[in-house]
Structure 1
Amino acid sequence: MTRFLAILLLIGLLAGCAGNTQTSNRLDNAEAAALYEAASEAAGRNDWQTAISELESLQAQYPFGLYATQAQLDIIHAYFQAGEVASTVAAAERFRRINPRHRAVPYSWYMQGLALEEKNRGPVKDWVGINDVLRDPVPRRQAFAAYTTLVEDYPDSEYTDMARGRLDVLYAEGAEFQLSVARFYADRDAWVAAARRAITVIEAFEGTAAVKPATDLLGTAYQRLGLDALADGVRTAQRETDRDAGDRIPDTPTLYEEETMEVPPAPTSEGPSGGSGGMGGPMGGGL
């Protein structure tokens, strides 16, 4: 009889523990939901700093809860909107480390590329009129690498076409940057350096609008260096190229037109949802 009572007591204790665990989980989910709702409301009014604060608290307190993955995605978008480039890149990399096979991984690569492009922008630089293509080329190369990874590894992603568009812009920017450096050397009569940069444009950025002025500059550089035969060869080749192309002036690339980057909202944690975005709960919804 004593043994029977002991068994009943043990069963009761186990049942009590299970009940307490379920109650605790429900409370945790409710608190996480409240934090997520606060973040969603802040994002809805473009209060990105508050949204970031709430999402950071959610991730710190409930890293494995129902809202964890969605918060990891939404905070990438929130950091970007707040202009926090380094945090955007870090959040994108963290998402991939935690969720390497998630369907939203292409989104993280796209946002990382956008953030790296934004690294060269800023209100002060825009106010003083600094040309984007003349700024630090390192973030541009890093953005190019991020977009390339997306295009090559996730060709069927809904973000791939947008990434290809950004690659075209970055390619044109790279050509223009090299041409600007060549002109910098030419203005200072550093003709050997100018010729080398012009050759870089011609060989590495074929098809861009910078090739023709780079070719003209190369001919001038050779002439100034006393290399008349090479200068004549460059000009002859340029005339043949112009004739083959029907003397058509290259179209102005998108880079030099009014253009904006398409910044998608965070997809739901169930995967990209055709643009509806996160901030609506872990199972879907939109801003």
Structure 2
Amino acid sequence: MKRFALILLAIGLLGGCASNNDSPNELVNADVAELYEDAASAMARGDWETATRDLESLQAQYPFGIYATQAQLDIIYVYYRAGDVASTVAAAERFRRINPRHRAVPYTWYMQGLALEEKNQDTIKRMVGIDNTLRDPVPRRQSFDAYATLVEDYPDSEYVERARERLNALFGEGARFQLSVAQFYADRDAWVAAAGRAITVINEFPDTPAVAPAMDLLANAYRNLGLNELADGVIAEKATLPSRGGEGVPQMPGIYEGEEIDVPPAPRPDEAPQREAPEPPSNVL
């Protein structure tokens, strides 16, 4: 009986001691909240390096809970603003893999599309007038796929309208790229290849300003191949097109003669010609 009473006394003393101190969970919550607030403050002042460090540290030390989820979401935006395209895409894919049913999944697709669009941006080449659409088409196709996934799978998302606008722009850029390749072949008297690319523009990119110059180029290619009747048919068909301002045939710079070229590193944050990116949705507060 005495032994049982001593056990109850010990339990009571332990309970009293615990009530006078914060529990381990409370301490952890305070620490992670402070770390997140530091990251949020860095984001607010545009200090992307500090925000990246704090958010990466938070995810490493506290991989579970609402702060971890928000950090996974915030770091997509931070990487984008820092001009780190590869990390932006990787973070977006990681968020969807961990949180496949989260309400912010459409946002991650939109941010992935934005980052991939800007992979080809280059301040110096833009300043000297080199058309960005003449660059490597692979990131542009990947960006198109990201926006298309958002529009098709999340039609009620608030980001759908912006994604549709970017899809239309990318469609036009794709037409201009194919047209520039066709002109590249024509300039070298590779008329069969030039005709093939011109036909691609006409068939795959209808209702874009690139169609009319593509038809001119196709007719010229046919004449050089001795196919005058086909050339006349193309000119007659062009006359039926709705009147619209054409963009002409962009000239392919010699350094971009290959269709698939290496993409340079992303520009520095202060150089990146970034489009407006929405801040990540919040689910912490």
Q: TM-score, normalised by structure 1?
A: 0.84
**Structure 1 CA distance for aligned equivalents of residues 237 and 280 of structure 2:** 50
Matched, 1:151 2:151: yes
Task: Map Cα deviations across residues 71-115 of structure 1 (whole Å, 9 max, x no partner).
Answer: 111100000000000000000001101110000000000000000
Say which is worse superposed, 20-29 or 178-187, in terms of deviation: 20-29
Tell me the equivalent position of 1:266. Answer: 280
Amino acid at match of 2:282: T
Tell me the equivalent position of 1:175. Answer: 175
Number of residue pairs matched by the alignment: 260
**Structure 1 CA distance for aligned equivalents of residues 96 and 123 of structure 2:** 31
Q: Are the equivalent residues in 1 in contact too, given 2:192–2:221 (CA < 8 A)? A: yes
Q: Are the equivalent residues in 1 in contact too, given 2:210–2:246 (CA < 8 A)? A: no
**Structure 1 CA distance for aligned equivalents of residues 53 and 153 of structure 2:** 33
Amino acid at match of 2:204: A
> Where do residues 120-139 of structure 1 align in structure 2 (5 Å cutoff)?
120-139=120-139
Q: Are the equivalent residues in 2 in contact too, given 1:96–1:105 (CA < 8 A)? A: yes
Task: Map Cα deviations across residues 103-128 of structure 1 (whole Å, 9 max, x no partner).
Answer: 00000000000000111113344344
Amino acid at match of 2:277: V
Matched, 1:36 2:31: no
Once the two structures are TM-superposed, the CA of residue 217 in structure 1 deviates from its matched residue by 0.5
Tell me the equivalent position of 2:162. Answer: 162
Tell me the equivalent position of 2:23. Answer: 23
Q: Are the equivalent residues in 2 in contact too, given 1:29–1:66 (CA < 8 A)? A: no
**Structure 2 CA distance for aligned equivalents of residues 13 and 92 of structure 1:** 50
The percentage of counterpart residues that share the same residue type is: 65
Tell me the equivalent position of 2:244. Answer: 249
Unmatched 5+ residue regions in structure 1? 253-258, 270-281
Change (3 A) 1:16 1:97: farther
**Structure 2 CA distance for aligned equivalents of residues 127 and 174 of structure 1:** 21
Q: Classify the secondary structure of the residue corresponding to 1:67.
A: helix
Change (3 A) 1:13 1:171: farther
Tell me the equivalent position of 2:187. Answer: 187
Tell me the equivalent position of 2:236. Answer: 236
Matched, 1:209 2:209: yes
Say which is worse superposed, 25-34 or 199-208, in terms of deviation: 25-34
> Where do residues 5-154 of structure 1 align in structure 2 (5 Å cutoff)?
5=5, 8=8, 23-154=23-154
Change (3 A) 1:238 1:60: same
Q: Are the equivalent residues in 2 in contact too, given 1:117–1:143 (CA < 8 A)? A: yes
**Structure 2 CA distance for aligned equivalents of residues 133 and 168 of structure 1:** 14
**Structure 1 CA distance for aligned equivalents of residues 20 and 143 of structure 2:** 49
Amino acid at match of 1:263: A
Once the two structures are TM-superposed, the CA of residue 207 in structure 1 deviates from its matched residue by 0.4
Say which is worse superposed, 119-128 or 152-161, in terms of deviation: 119-128
**Structure 2 CA distance for aligned equivalents of residues 265 and 27 of structure 1:** 29
Q: Classify the secondary structure of the residue corresponding to 1:162.
A: helix
Say which is worse superposed, 226-235 or 171-180, in terms of deviation: 226-235
**Structure 1 CA distance for aligned equivalents of residues 235 and 279 of structure 2:** 50
Once the two structures are TM-superposed, the CA of residue 12 in structure 1 deviates from its matched residue by 5.4
Say which is worse superposed, 66-75 or 102-111, in terms of deviation: 66-75
**Structure 2 CA distance for aligned equivalents of residues 156 and 183 of structure 1:** 41
Q: Are the equivalent residues in 1 in contact too, given 2:212–2:246 (CA < 8 A)? A: no
Change (3 A) 1:118 1:21: farther
Change (3 A) 1:138 1:17: farther
Once the two structures are TM-superposed, the CA of residue 45 in structure 1 deviates from its matched residue by 1.5
Q: Classify the secondary structure of the residue corresponding to 2:189.
A: coil
**Structure 2 CA distance for aligned equivalents of residues 28 and 58 of structure 1:** 11
Once the two structures are TM-superposed, the CA of residue 5 in structure 1 deviates from its matched residue by 3.9
Q: Classify the secondary structure of the residue corresponding to 2:23.
A: helix
Task: Map Cα deviations across residues 45-66 of structure 1 (whole Å, 9 max, x no partner).
Answer: 1111111111111111111134
Amino acid at match of 1:162: R
Change (3 A) 1:20 1:81: farther
